[in-house]
Structure 1
Amino acid sequence: MDATFDKPKVSNFFYSNQQGNALVNMHNSDQLRSSQTSTSRSSESSDLGGTGKWAAKLLRECAKAISEKDSARIHHLLWMLNELASPYGDCEQKLAAHFLQALFCKATESGNRCYKTLTSVAEKGHSFDSARKMTLKFQEVSPWTTFGHVASNGAILDALEGETKLHIIDISHTFCTQWPTLLEALATRNDETPRLRLTVVVMASMSNLVMKEVGQRMEKFARLMGVPFEFRVVAGLAQLADLTHEELGLREDEAVAVNCIGALRHVSVEERPSVVRMLRSFRPKVVTIVEEEADFTSTRGDFVECFEECLRFYSVFFEMLEESFVPTSNERLMLERESSRSIVSLLACGGDGGGECERRERGSQWCGRLREAFSPAGFSDDVVDDVKALLKRYRAGWSFVPAKGDESGLYLMWKEEAVVWVSAWKP
């Protein structure tokens, strides 16, 4: 359709709503439509039910209307979603609320401005303590992040066995929560405790004060464990491909491991081959990669396809949060707001730098790219046993499976849905 969408005012759709549960039972969509727009449309049934999966259905309809530039239907569906959605309701209401924001931004071409505002608000409202508490609580109730930590640490320890001088290049945004268990493992080795240098490459907006505190905590723990330890930070890079040997301070007598957790999805798709070659140039003994299992690259040219993949991934994520956290958890709310910003970036931001580059790729896609510079290292039986022991600490619903065919690595599963991929590679 060629209809031009008349951009509504934000206030028309984003006012406070406390009646989401009651409105789920509304059946007469003609009455709803007439209160929002004077456009005459044929009668349609919208029996949403009180307990069904109504959010995905309405969101899909809205995404389709935006793709077709159906102005009247966009107005109707945005209004209807706003009546039903709530960021403080059940899982369906939350899913609707966060996707509604992105769809509204897409329809009004306000995604870049909205994303910058959301990011600014988050940065002002989050302290290091609150972010650290959120990270640790998430690790306590869900293996979403600890799965990658345990498998990566095991692969690194296996690859660096017998080395006396270690250098780990950490390209991630985990506040170094991965490394205390590795330090403990080094301290309990039968042979001489090796020296460890940890270089953290910071691409996100963590302040120098935050990283200074992280470093002090790590140094204190290393002293407690009796591990000779050096901590440094590399920050201020415009893009990851700019990382150089000189900035990392690579030394000939050190065994190098590169650890990438959730960082490569922030690299633009066009830059990824050069980043892979850069990692190989560091001559590492092992490279560990952890990424969430979703494809936001091959679908980026088609809004509806990208929306479907985004909806699939975040439906699983929000359901997992619903079952892992208590309803009143502040940490859960912070994670949901982070997801909301990512959804806006993915669905509503153009290519002019308004939203961060966050184009996830599936493990199969990464395997194809990484094989151009590396060979799969695999995981030992001991590492697999460690992963099994980890998952036993969490509620039912979690499992893992090895990659099949030409793929490499392990997949973390939530109720039979792959959500996180971890792999290890060697030159």
Structure 2
Amino acid sequence: MDTTLYKPKQSYFFYSNQQENDRVNMNNSSQSQSNHTSTSRSSESSDPSANGKWAARLLRECANAISEKDSSKIHQLLWMLNELASPYGDYDQKLASHFLQALFCKATESGERCYKTLLSVAEKSHSFESSRKVILKFQEVSPWTTFGHVASNGAILEALEGETKLHIIDISNTFCTQWPTLLEALATRNNETPHLRLTVVVTAGMARSVMREISQRMEKFARLMGVPFEFHVVSGLARLAELTEEQLGLREDEAIAVNCIGALRRVNVEERDAVIRMFSSLRPRVLTMVEEEADFTSSMGDFNKCFEECLRFYSLFFEMLDESFVPTSNERLMLERECSRSIVSVLACDGDSDGEGECERRERGSQWCGRLREAFSPVGYSDDVVDDVKALLKRYRSGWSFVPAQGDDSGLYLTWKDEAVAWVSAWKPTP
């Protein structure tokens, strides 16, 4: 495709190069874009933004044009979206901006290069403090992640009840924010406080850079709680499929729990069953798993279908951010930029490749249940754990709820305005 007619605005496509705390530039850019879109009108039609909720319609038309290889229409729609979109604007402007980047990469076959650039920029600006602020603020305004933490911690504590030596293998991208509450629970047990060994498996480059700080803080908190504690990091893995039992340093006198949050979606699709079998071979007392509720695997060969599912899922996420954060929140901007990278990975990168050996191919809870049942059996949540989840959701604004899985599926679904957005479940190896 000839791209000379369409040149994306540098401030939009490469805004991730800006400092996170540059509020002055952000506000100026937002005001400038607002003034521009109010005067940008085609001589043939009215401004699409005047009708409200315009982003999804234009993005869908552009995706259809790309699928049909209609070069003229692609140029027209990309130009129109570029005039209206802004990463600092309202909901529609933001949605258009982040999907526009992915659609432009898809149309120009530049997805792999763009994703690597975005990832490199994010890693260079990454720090423990910035990660901590984003995670804690997100947990403060939304149960999107804490829902999984509470349910998983409850299942782990019940599965390991009465054991004196515990080994939790943590495979997640939560920077250990899940574990302080579990340490507190262990410290307040009526019987003897057990010894806890926490092994964190790290594959994401950004996580590696902050693990030293996290290790020091976890060890300090464990001492404060009076919990005998060991912290170990397994790093240097390009892909989770490379993890071996030997790297985990298993001990015969320890009761094992495997905690897997948002990790299996980053495993190449064809390797997922093997990774699940590897988890089963560890003979854990419990496997806890949390994944976001979207299907980007069954549509891998159908761009339009994949786009529609991607738009559905991220529209919910951006809407939730819009209602939970103030417009000028830096934490919100960082979360949106992370989403933008994921959207590029899903829509504009071939197969599972994203330059790091991982992917963003989410599956729905029902799909994960089908995979897990090959090596595991589901463990239902107790009334106490369900009560803890109910109490958690009461802390947040209205619109959040949860429902149990139906039929042959297992687990709980977190819902935002009656739409399932995350799935949590607990499993034990099949005898």
AA aligned opposite 1:136: L
Q: What's the CA shift for 1:185?
A: 0.2
The match for 1:375 among 367, 374, 377 is: 377
Match of 1:35 in 2: none
Q: How does 1:277-296 map to 2 (within 5 A)?
A: 277-296=277-296
Q: Assess if the C-alpha contact under 8 Å between 1:257 and 1:286 holds in 2.
A: yes
Letter of the structure 2 residue corresponding to residue 121 of structure 1? V
How far did 1:259 drift?
0.1
Q: AA paired with 1:7?
A: T
Superposition deviation, residue 370 in structure 1: 0.3
Q: How far did 1:11 drift?
A: 3.1
Identity of aligned residues (%): 78
Q: Report the structure number with the largest CA radius of gyration.
A: 1
1:401 matched residue in structure 2: 403
SS for the counterpart of 2:290 is: strand
Residue pairs, 1:267-282, within 5 angstroms: 267-282=267-282
Cα offset, 1:243, TM superposition: 1.7
Deviations along 1:307-331, one digit per CA (max 9) or x if unpaired, are 0000000000000000111111100
Q: Report the Cα offset of residue 349 of structure 1.
A: 1.2
Are the aligned partners of 2:6 and 2:75 in contact in 1 as well (CA < 8 Å)?
A: no
When structure 1 is superposed on structure 2, of 242-251 and 167-176 the one drifting more is 242-251
* Alpha-carbon offset, residue 12 of structure 1: 4.9
SS in 2 for 1:101: helix
CA distance in structure 2 between the partners assigned to 1:10 and 1:72 by the alignment: 11
Q: Please, which moves more after superposition, 239-248 or 219-228?
A: 239-248
> Shift of residue 48 of structure 1?
2.7
Secondary structure of 1:6's match? Answer: coil
Q: Residue 394 of structure 2 aligns with which residue?
A: 392
CA RMSD of aligned residues (A): 1.8
Look up the SS of the partner of 1:50 in the other structure: helix
Query: Corresponding residue for 2:4?
Result: 8
Structure 1 residue 29: Cα displacement: 6.0
CA distance in 1 between counterparts of 2:286 and 2:64 reads 45
Query: Is there any run of 5+ residues in structure 1 with no aligned partner, and where?
Result: 31-44
Q: Which runs of 4+ in 1 moved over 6 A?
A: 24-27
Residue deviations 1:116-149 (CA, integer Å, cap 9, x gap): 1111111112221101110111011100000000
SS of the equivalent of 2:210 reads helix
Judge conservation of contact 1:20–1:85 (CA < 8 Å) in 2. no
Whichever residue aligns with residue 397 of structure 2, its letter is R
| In structure 2, distance between residues paired with 1:358 and 1:106 | 16
Q: 1:264 to 1:79 in 2, by over 3 A?
A: same
Corresponding residue of 1:23: 37
SS of the residue 1:412 aligns to: strand
Deviations 1:36-90, CA, capped at 9 Å, x for gaps:
xxxxxxxxx6663535210000000000001111011001000000111000000
Structure 2 distance, partners of 1:263, 1:246, is 20
The CA deviation at 1:393 is: 0.5
Partner of 2:189, secondary structure, is coil
Q: Distance in 2 between matches of 1:12 and 1:234?
A: 40
TM-score by length of 1: 0.92
Matches within 5 A, 1:68-107: 68-107=68-107
Where in structure 2 are there 5+ consecutive unaligned residues? 13-28
Which amino acid in the other structure matches residue 23 of structure 1?
T
Contact 1:21 1:84 in 2 (8 A): no
What is residue 33 of structure 1 aligned with on the other side? none
CA contact (8 A) 1:25 1:48 kept: no
Deviation at 1:237, TM superposition (A): 1.6
* TM alignment of 1:146-157, pairs within 5 A: 146-157=146-157
1:118 equivalent in structure 2: 118
Change (3 A) 1:24 1:284: farther
The structural deviation recorded for 1:238 is 2.8
2:307 corresponding residue in structure 1: 307
8 Å Cα contact 1:13/1:79 also seen in 2: no
Residue 227 of structure 1: aligned partner: 227
Which secondary structure does the structure 2 equivalent of 1:66 belong to? helix
